Amino acid sequence: MNDFLLTVLRNERVADGIYEMTLSRPEGVQPKGAQFLHIELKDGGRILRRPFCVCDCEGEEITVCYALVGAGTRELASYKPGEKLKVLLPLGNGWDADAFERPVLLGGGMGSAVLPLVARLAKKARPTAYLGFADKGKAVLTERMSALCPTVVCTDNGSLGRKGYVTEILARDVREGKVRPDAIFCCGPEIIYKLLAKEPAFADIPVFVSLEKRMGCGVGACLVCTCGVRTKEGEKNLRVCADGSVFDLREVIL
Amino acid sequence: MNTSVTIAGVTFKNPVITASGTFGFGREYAEFYPLSALGGVCTKGLTVEERQGNPSPRVAETPSGMLNSVGLQNPGVDHYLEHYDKWLSEQGTVVIANIAGHKLEDYEEMARRISGSRADMVELNISCPNVRSGGMAFGVQPESVRKVTETVKRACSKPVITKLTPNVSCIADNAKAAEDGGADAISVINTLTGMAVDYKTRRPILANNTGGLSGPCVKPVALRMVWECYNAVKIPVIGLGGITSWTDVLEFMICGARAVQVGTATLSDPYAAFTIAKDLEKYAQETDADLNALVGTLQLN
């Protein structure tokens, strides 16, 4: 982990309100799957860095995928190739697909941005990805994921891939034996975690979730990004940045 | 040239101290640079028992600043003594243990416990806006500032810094009250109570509704209050509030700060305190200055 000055190589709109930014990769840095980076904005009035998962990392490039949600991400979208950014990375503990044999990588909307690097770094494991989007206009990373592992794309309205909510489609496939995951790794909006937690088809499968919270330092010092987790010593507020960002779904207090 | 400053008999190699709550117990940042480059490290606020703090969201960015409502989450003083006390004391920097509590007896108990630690000084947190009882409740009324300072002084063998809240009508009165209570120094200012609102949901962004404002936006308030305190008391003033550069440090020293604390800047840039300390040393070298000579040299118009 260190603070690097990285060059913006590309920064393009890839879907409705969604951008992909490619940054120069610092020498010798190999982020693990589901690790994140912390970008300093150039507008000094926005004093907090913005955390994003490392979407992908290959060759000399690091990819970040982000949705426009506020002034900070709109500023990010204005950066041109050649501009330099201060970026702290890699942060968080990441998640290793190779700890399992047949993990399902489940992405809900922008949460799909965590999955490419996780799939890319799977050497022994044979992951299958399920990506769910509201509409085809919001679908991202489907080609990138399909090139890395078998990928099922779903949209709520059926405008792309299978029609339905991604957790329900996965639950059906598990019940029908089409996939037999020995773990589920998921990133998405909180509603998806709640659905996963109560779905009987997943009751015997370990589920890991990559959490997102409003963040401060990104390295574990300031304690602003905590989430409630059931630990052996009782319920604790753990730091998403330093203790996570991946947690066992059954231990997270949603 | 000289960058070292002395407060209550404790010498800091430079006037840059990390502010409580922005630096953990130092371990995270020791991975970025040697803590020995800093004048001092002030720990996260410690309480007798472990505290889980407030629900999240605990942070909201505001123009040139941020609100936080961590609510004094900390592992408790026993955990600190067991896991961090020795390590921190070996980092070659002054260690200030920040202590907090719910009631007067908590502060007394904390003062006793920290007396047996390796910390060089104690900072009394009576100005945290994010806990329901204790914290700022002790810091608003001058009489209670005096009383809690006196209680801690009596129970503690180490020099005591009382950290003042800016959420008062006359901070000079509270500075004097701390001095009357026997404080060896005061630190000024803690965060300003504020709120950030989401117009779409018509709700505050922070789960705790209100939080403490910090960052560059509070610097003018902090400078004014440091100057008022400097003129009100004889004990040293430690200035903090929105410092992000070595020139900010000089401004605080000119207003009367003997030393400074760097807080929120560390969240933006992990190297902030380190860079500021190095830049100050460079300035002192290039101008052959004794930073102590700057303290309180403000000339009013």
Give percent helix, percent strand, percent coil of chain A, each to the nearest 5: 25, 35, 40
Look up residue B121 and give its two tokens: 């000084």
Q: What is the DSSP string of B119-185?
A: -SEEEEE---TTSSSSTHHHHHSHHHHHHHHHHHHHH-SS-EEEEPPS-SS-HHHHHHHHHHTT-SE
Q: Tell me the shortest Cα–Cα distance from B35 to chain A, in angstroms.
A: 15
- The helix (H) or strand (E) run that includes residue A76 is helix A71-77
Phi/psi for B72 (5° steps) reads 60, 35
> Residue B36's domain spans which residues?
5-55+71-197+217-294
Whether B29 and chain A come into contact, CB under 8 Å, resolves to yes
Of B31, B55, B63, the CB nearest to A1: B31
Residue B232 resides in a domain? yes
Residue B139 resides in a domain? yes
* Bridge partners, B67 (sequence order): B60, B213
For B:50-109, CB contacts with A below 8 A are 52-53, 55-61, 63-66, 68, 70, 73
**Angstrom distance (rounded) from CA A114 to CA A118:** 7
- The helix (H) or strand (E) run that includes residue A37 is strand A36-39
The two beta strands, B65-68 and B59-62, are: antiparallel
Task: Give the pLDDT confidence score for residue B139 in this predicted structure.
Answer: 87
pLDDT digits (tens, 9 = 90+) for B182-192: 999 999 999 99
In the predicted model, residues of chain B with pLDDT beneath 50 are none
Closest to B68 in 3D by CA, of A38, A216, A43: A216
ipTM for the whole complex: 0.93
Residue B207 resides in a domain? no
Tell if the CB–CB gap between B21 and A222 is shorter than 8 Å: yes
Residue B229 resides in a domain? yes
Residue B269 resides in a domain? yes
Residue B65 resides in a domain? no
Of A2, A45, A217, the CB nearest to B266: A217
Residues of A in contact with B31 (CB under 8 A): 1, 219
**Angstrom distance (rounded) from CA A122 to CA A183:** 13
Taken in order of first residue, the domains within chain A and their CATH numbers are 2-91 (2.40.30.10), 97-210 (3.40.50.80), 211-254 (2.10.240.10)
**Angstrom distance (rounded) from CA A150 to CA A103:** 11
Tell if the CB–CB gap between B52 and A44 is shorter than 8 Å: no
Count of the separate structural domains present in chain B: 1
Task: Give the pLDDT confidence score for residue B135 in this predicted structure.
Answer: 57
Lateral strand order in the sheet of B59-62:
B59-62, B65-68, B211-214, B192-194
Active site residue B128: yes
Task: Give the pLDDT confidence score for residue B102 in this predicted structure.
Answer: 85
Tell if the CB–CB gap between B270 and A88 is shorter than 8 Å: yes
Look up residue A160 and give its two tokens: 């792309």
Task: Read off the pTM.
Answer: 0.95
Question: What is the Cα A55 distance to its own chain's centre?
Answer: 7
Tell if the CB–CB gap between A47 and B32 is shorter than 8 Å: no
- Over chain A (254 residues), what is each successive 10-residue block's mean pLDDT? 97 96 96 98 96 97 96 97 98 97 97 98 97 96 97 97 97 96 96 95 96 96 97 95 97 94
Residue B78 resides in a domain? yes
Residues of B in contact with A245 (CB under 8 A): none
Task: Give the pLDDT confidence score for residue B127 in this predicted structure.
Answer: 73
Tell me which residues of chain A have a C-beta less than 8 Å from any C-beta of chain B: 1-3, 40, 44-49, 72, 86, 88, 213-217, 219-228, 235-237, 242
Look up residue A66 and give its two tokens: 């982000």
CB B148 within 8 A of CB B107: yes
CATH number at residue B48: 3.20.20.70
**Angstrom distance (rounded) from CA A129 to CA A137:** 19
